[in-house]
Amino acid sequence: MNQLKGMNFLRNLKMGQRIQLFVFLTVVATYTITGIVLSRFSVINAENTSRNQVSVYINTLQSIVDLQERITKNGIDQTDITALKTHFYKAAFHKTDFPFILSNTGRYLLHITKEDQRIPKDIFVQIASNPNRQGWITVETTQGTEEVYYKYISEYDIYLGITTPYKEIVKDVKQNRFLMILVVTLAIGLFFITVLLIIKPITKTIQQVNDTIKMMALGLEGHKLNREQNDELGQITESLNTLTEGLSRTSHFANELGNNNLNAEFQPLSNEDILGNALISMRNSLKAAEIEEKRRKQEDETRNWITSGLAMFGDILRQNNNNLALLADSVTQNLVNYLNANQGGLFIYNNDDTSNPHLELVSAFAYNRKKFFERTIALNEGLVGTCAVEKNTIYLKEIPDGYITITSGLGEATPTSLLIVPLKLEDTIFGVVEIASFAEFSQHEIEFVEKIGESIASTLFSVKNAIRTTHLLEQSQQQREEMAAQEEEMRQNMEEMQATQEEMARKTIEMEGISKAIDQALIYCELDEDANIFLPNDNLAAAMGYPKHELDGVNLSEIVHISNKKEIAAIRNEIALGAPYKGTLHLINRDGQDLYLHTNISPTFDELGGIYKIILIGQDITESKLLEIKAQKQADEIEANLVEIKAEQQLAQMKENDIKGLLQALDTTCLITEIELSGKITYINNKNVETLGDPKDKIEGKYHRDLDGLAKKSPKEYEAFWNSLLSGISQNRVFSLTVNGIEKWISEHYTPVTDDNGNVTKVINIGFDITDSKEKEKEMQRLIAEIEQLKKNNNK
C-alpha cells in the first residue's frame, strides 16, 4: 500500500516537480556516495601510506640496527639496545607510534614503555606463524585499535616493528571530512538552484505544451504559445503553434467540406501533409462524386422521364383500344404535353385501298397547318410522306418558311424544331407522328418518341385489327341476325302460303261436296255472255230430255217458251251489268212438254270485277207449277194461293261467285242439313229453321236417327237407308211432319260427300218444302173427289 501510495504520489507529481525531485535525489545520492567513497579511499590511502612509511621506517631502523651491530658485533646485546634507544624512543610519524624490537620469544627488547614486557601470546603466534616474516596485524587493545607492523630479521633473530594506533593513522582523514561535507552541501545547493533555474522555464513550456496538446487531444483548438526559447522546446512550441494553426486551417477546411463548400481554398501544410492531402483528395473525390452524382441524377431523371413516360403511354395505349380516334387524340395530346412541345399531329397509314395508300391525319394537337386541312397525305409527299416511306426519324432544327406555324394569342411563330417519327413495327409502317416545338429536342426525347412510336405502332396495329375484327364480327353477327330474320320471314311466308293452300284445298273439298250436292239436287249449267248453255248437268239434260252433248252450246232462248224469249234478252243485259237474275223460267223440253224452273242466274266476278262466268241453277218446279196451273184453272183462290206460293218459293238466293252463288241459292231455297257419318247433325241452315220451326241449337249436335220419323217407325228401313248413304249412294225421300199444327211436306235429297279418295266424309241433305204442292195436290184430290161426288150425285 505504501508503495502504491508512493507510486501514486510520484505519478501525480507534475513534470517539473518530478524533474526537481529526481535531480535533487540524484545529486544528493551522488554526492553522498562520492563522499563516502572518497572518505574510504582517503582512509585506505592513509593506511597504505602509513604502512609504506612504516615499512620504510622499519627498513631504516634495520639499517640502523645493522650499523649498530657492525660496530659492536656479536649480536644484539645490551649495548646495542642501549645504543639503539635513541632511535626507538621517538615516535616515527605520529605521536605514539613507537618502534619496538621483539625477541624471538616475544619479549619486548626495546620499547619506550613496554621493555621487557611480553607481547600478548596470541599476537605473537600470529606474527611468528607468518612465513613471510613481515606484515601487519590489527590488534584490539584497550586504547583502541592498533596496527602492529613487524619484520623478522633473521641475522639477529629479532622482530623489528612499530605499533601505530589506528586513530592516528586516520586522524587527518577525519579532520578533512567535515569540510568535505560542507563543500558537498554547498555544491548540492548550488547545483540544485542552477537546475531549478534551468528547469523552471522548460517545465513551464512543457506545461503549456502539455495543456495545448491536452486541449488538442480533447479536440479543441490549441492556443498559440509564445516562443520563449530558441532551444528544442522553442522549436516544439513553434511546431506546436504551426500544428495548431495547421489544424485550425485544416479543420476550417474540413468544416467547409462538411458544409459542402468544395471550392474552399486550402493549402496543405506541406507536401507531405497527410491529413491535408487526404482532405484535398477527399475534396477531389467529393467533387468527382458530386459531378458523378449530378451526372447520375441527370441520367436518373432522364431514365425516370423515359420510364414514367413509357408507363404513362403504356396506360394510354391500353385504354381506348377500341376507338382509334380517341386513342390517337389521347396519344397526341399526351405526347405533346410530355415533351413540353407545342403542337403535334398523328397520321395513320391507311392502305385499305391498296391502289391509293395514304396517310390520314387522325388527331391533331394545336395543329395549325393550312396544308393539312385536307387531312390526307400521299406517301412520299412532304416531310411526313417521306418519313413514312423512309421509315426514319426526321429531326429539323431549321424549318422551311411557312411549313408550319404555332399560333397563340400573341400571333404566329415558326417553331424552332420539328420532329417527325415513323410509327413502325418491325419495319412495317403504321403511321407518322409529327411534333413541333419552340425548344430543341434532346437525344433522349427523340429516342423516347421513337420508342413510344413502336408501342403506338403496335397498338395501332392491334387496335386496327381489333376494330376490323369487331367490325367483321358485328357484320357477320348482323348478317346472321338478318339471315335469321329473313329466314323467319321466309318461313312465315311459306307458312302463309301453305296455310292458304290448305285453306283453299279445304274449300275446294267443301265446294266439290256442295257442287256434287247441287249437281245431284238441282239443275245446273253455265252460260256464256250470249246465254249459250255449256256444261249442263244430268238433271238439266234429263229434265229437257236431251242427251247432254246436244244441250251443249244451245242458246237459252232456244229452249224457253216463246213468252220468255224477251225476258232472256233482258236477263242477258242485266247479267252483263253484273246483276243476278232470279225467277221462274218456262222451258219447253224435247217432247214439247212444259218445264218450269225456279232459276237463279248469277254472274261471278274475277278480281278486277270483270265477269268470270255465269252460273245457272234451277229447280224443277214443273210439278207444282203444273198443279198450280191446274189449280188456277180450277180455282181462283188456288191461283191466289199460287201467287203466294210463288213468292214463298223464291228460294235460292244468288251467288256472287260460282260457288257462293250456288250456296246462296241453295241456302235460301233448300233446307240444308249437314250430317256426320255418325249421324250427328252438325249444321242446319236458316231455311231449315224457318221451315221446320226448330231452332238451330235444338237440332245441331243431335243425331239424325233420333229426330227422323222413319227411324222411329221402321228402324230397319232407316238402317238400310243410312247404310246406302254411307256406301255413297244418294237417297231421295219425301216425308211430312206437323209444324205448329200445319202439316209440312219435305222432299229430301241425301247426298254423301266424298273426299279425294272417294271416302264418304259427311252427308248433306238438301230438302225442298213441297207442302204447297202437296196441299194443292190434296186440294185437287179433294176437289176431284168432290167433283166425283157431284158426278155421282148427278148421276144419281
Partner 1 sequence: MNVTDQDLQYFISALKNYTKYDFSDYSDKSLKRRVEKVLADRNLDVTGLITSIKNSQEFAELIVKEITVNTTELFRDPQTWHLLRSRILPRFKNNKNINIWHAGCSTGQEVYSMMILLNEMELFDKAKIFATDLNSDVLDAAKKGQYKYRFNIGYLDNFDKVIKQNPLNYEEFNDVPYDKYFEIDKAKDTITMKKFLTEKPIFRKHDLVKDGNLFFAKFDLILCRNVIIYFNYNLQNNVFELFHSNLYPKGCLLLGMHETILGPWATKFEKIGQAYVKK
Chain positions contacting partner 1, by CB under 8 A: 482, 485-486, 489, 491-493, 495-496, 498-500, 502-504, 506-507, 510-511, 605-609, 653, 655-657, 659-660, 663-664, 667-668, 685-686
Give the closest residue to 460 by CA, choosing from 388, 374, 532: 388
C-alpha cell at position 577: 251489268
SS3 693: coil
To partner 1, the closest distance from the beta carbon of 613 in angstroms equals 14
Q: Which is nearer to partner 1, 172 or 482 (CB)?
A: 482
Q: Which is nearer to partner 1, 590 or 680 (CB)?
A: 680
Tell me how far apart the alpha carbons of residues 109 and 82 are, in angstroms, rounded to a whole number.
10
To partner 1, the closest distance from the beta carbon of 487 in angstroms equals 11
Q: Which is nearer to partner 1, 453 or 661 (CB)?
A: 661
Counting Cβ atoms within 10 Å, is residue 610 exposed (0-12), middle (13-18) or buried (19+)? exposed
Q: Which is nearer to partner 1, 32 or 500 (CB)?
A: 500
C-alpha cell at position 326: 380517341
To partner 1, the closest distance from the beta carbon of 578 in angstroms equals 9
**Beta partners for 523?**
618
Give the closest residue to 614 by CA, choosing from 549, 661, 546: 661
To partner 1, the closest distance from the beta carbon of 326 in angstroms equals 22
Tell me how far apart the alpha carbons of residues 10 and 18 are, in angstroms, rounded to a whole number.
7
Q: How far is CA 81 from CA 57, 67, 84, 110, 686, in A?
A: 17, 12, 5, 7, 233
Q: Which is nearer to partner 1, 52 or 493 (CB)?
A: 493
Give the closest residue to 724 by CA, choosing from 750, 703, 746, 748: 750
Tell me how far apart the alpha carbons of residues 637 and 557 are, in angstroms, rounded to a whole number.
32
To partner 1, the closest distance from the beta carbon of 608 in angstroms equals 6
Q: Which is nearer to partner 1, 388 or 659 (CB)?
A: 659
Q: Which is nearer to partner 1, 270 or 686 (CB)?
A: 686
Q: Which is nearer to partner 1, 252 or 506 (CB)?
A: 506
To partner 1, the closest distance from the beta carbon of 602 in angstroms equals 10
Q: Which long-range contacts (CB under 8 A, 24 or more apart) does 344-348 make?
A: 344/433, 344/434, 344/435, 344/436, 345/369, 345/372, 345/433, 345/434, 346/431, 346/432, 346/433, 346/434, 346/456, 347/377, 347/384, 347/388, 347/431, 347/432, 347/433, 347/434, 348/324, 348/430, 348/431, 348/460
Is residue 279 a contact partner of residue 253, using CB atoms and an 8 Å limit? yes
Give the closest residue to 253 by CA, choosing from 265, 245, 244: 265
To partner 1, the closest distance from the beta carbon of 688 in angstroms equals 11
Q: How far is CA 156 from CA 56, 149, 150, 567, 757, in A?
A: 19, 18, 14, 247, 216
Task: List the alpha helices (DSSP H) in 522-584.
Answer: 538-544, 548-551, 556-559, 565-576
To partner 1, the closest distance from the beta carbon of 349 in angstroms equals 26
To partner 1, the closest distance from the beta carbon of 678 in angstroms equals 18
Q: Which is nearer to partner 1, 254 or 672 (CB)?
A: 672
To partner 1, the closest distance from the beta carbon of 501 in angstroms equals 8
Residue 550, phi then psi, degrees to nearest 5: -75, -30
Q: Which is nearer to partner 1, 484 or 785 (CB)?
A: 484
